[in-house]
Amino acid sequence: MTQIPPTKSRPGLLALIGPGLLVAATGVGAGDLATASFTGSLLGTSVLWAVVLGGFLKYVLTEGLARWQLATGETLLEGAARHMGPVTGWLFLPYLLLWSFFVGAALMSACGVTLHAIVPVFNDPATGKMVFGMLSSLIGLFLVLAGGFPLFEKVMGLCIGFMFFTVLVTALLLWPGTGAVLKGLLIPSIPDLAGAGITWTAALMGGIGGTVTVLCYGYWIREKARSGPEDLKLCRIDLGIGYLMTILFGLAMVIIGSTVKIEGGGASLLVTLADRLEGPLGPVGRWSFLIGALGAVFSSLLGVWQAVPYLFADAWRLFVRKETPNTRVDFSEIDTRSAPYRGFLWALALVPMLGLLFSFKEVQKLYALIGAAFMPLLALALLILNSRGDRLGRLRNKAPGIAALAATLVFFGGMAWAKWMG
């Protein structure tokens, strides 16, 4: 049981903005890095504006989630259970299980591939990926179990520092010119690329800032004892800083990708990109980029391992055990020793290891289809839940917020429709 002090302390800047940085680090996975760099390689700096827009849309969703929780004292899942019924659980639990398996396997694979590139002790790269991937998962499991939230926050801070510094310095060393960057930021355009330009640009926007991990923000602000409307300003500040870092990171990856020709996909693309960077930057540049990439993918793994079990425990209590929101765990106690939390954490760290051994193409296709629907459903839920004055009072959706959420719904809904129809 993690005890939260009854008084709200304000120890320092890093502690204040911590939850926003955790969202930023957890939302930057291997797939997002690969997508940003590959899109930059294909489309150049002309789509930098899409990174900014994608980050803003994710900010809108996470800020709406924070407003709901601070106004009502309920997590978004509790609110959905109370006001939208059991259908929420029928949709969310299967999605969470699929998402957890494939994202867990992808993060292990990314950590394994990157660690093998840094420490090539195995003759067979596939063996290195499996061994290092499993080791990364077990280290993440140990850190979550042994140190709780305080240790988790410290390790995440270290990883964030590594990834942010090395990737931004790499982008500056490969700087394509201020004029080209400003044009890409201020003048929206999408190269045709034989009709594939729109698809890659949409993927770039959708990949910025994660998907289901935005829900984890509610549990991290509980760890920081943020519990009322008076904390909304602080949440907006730390989310602004967190998503600004996410945007800068995405811009850097697009810029890096725009300077080299890369091929391939998945986690191995990061190593391919590092190899290509050795030409213009030398061995030091290659190693620095690999260290930054490792910080990015391991921080994402650690964030998923620590926070996603909260989601499962919440969903299990609400939709399987069918407890009412009125019987939820008291705010002052966040139970990380419960069987649902610990059981899902162990499953998350171990079961996706199977994904390092096998290829599940059809299941992955199903996962992609289900996953595509998550963001528009979240936007729709926030439009419904946050628009009632009797629930949120002065924190309810105002006209600008409604417009932003509607735009988010339209964009991510369009992406989901394209995936389903494709």
Q: Does 256 map to a domain?
A: yes
**Confidence category of residue 126, pLDDT binned at 50, 70, 90:** confident
Q: Which of 100-104, 133-137, 156-160, 262-266 has the lowest mean pLDDT?
A: 262-266
Q: Which of 308-317, 319-328, 363-372 has the lowest mean pLDDT?
A: 363-372
Task: Please tell me the distance from the alpha carbon of residue 168 to that of residue 62, in angstroms, as a whole number.
Answer: 25
pLDDT at 396: 86
Q: Using one digit for the tens of pLDDT, what is the confidence trace for 3-31? A: 444 444 445 555 566 788 888 778 776 66
**Confidence category of residue 52, pLDDT binned at 50, 70, 90:** very high
Helical pair 339-350 and 125-173, crossing angle rounded to 10 deg: 100
Q: Does 288 map to a domain?
A: yes
Residue 290 in contact with residue 19, Cβ under 8 Å?
no
**Confidence category of residue 408, pLDDT binned at 50, 70, 90:** confident
pLDDT at 280: 82
Most confident residue range from 90-104, 150-164, 337-351, 391-405: 337-351
Q: Does 336 map to a domain?
A: yes
The single residue listed with the structure tokens 């709901």 is 68
Count of domains observed in the chain: 1
CA angle 417, 419, 422 (to 5 degrees): 105
Note the residue count of the chain. Answer: 422
Average pLDDT taken over every residue of the chain: 82
112 is in which domain, residue-wise? 11-356
Q: Does 361 map to a domain?
A: no
**CATH number (domain holding residue 307):** 1.20.1740.10
Q: What is the 3-state secondary structure (H, E, C) of 217-266?
A: HHHHHHHCCCCCHHHHHHHHHHHHHHHHHHHHHHHHHHHHHHCCCCCCCC
Q: Which of 56-60, 126-130, 260-264, 417-421 has the lowest mean pLDDT?
A: 417-421
pLDDT at 330 over 60: no
Q: Does 388 map to a domain?
A: no
Q: Does 408 map to a domain?
A: no
pLDDT at 6: 41
Q: Does 402 map to a domain?
A: no
Q: Does 415 map to a domain?
A: no
214-221 mean pLDDT: 88
Q: Using one digit for the tens of pLDDT, what is the confidence trace for 388-400? A: 777 788 888 888 8
φ, ψ (nearest 5 deg) of residue 333: -130, 120
Q: Using one digit for the tens of pLDDT, what is the confidence trace for 268-281? A: 677 778 888 888 88
Q: Which of 110-124, 144-158, 352-366 has the lowest mean pLDDT?
A: 352-366
pLDDT at 179: 94
Distance of CA 91 to the CA centre of its chain: 20
Using only C-alpha atoms, the chain has a radius of gyration, in whole angstroms, of 21
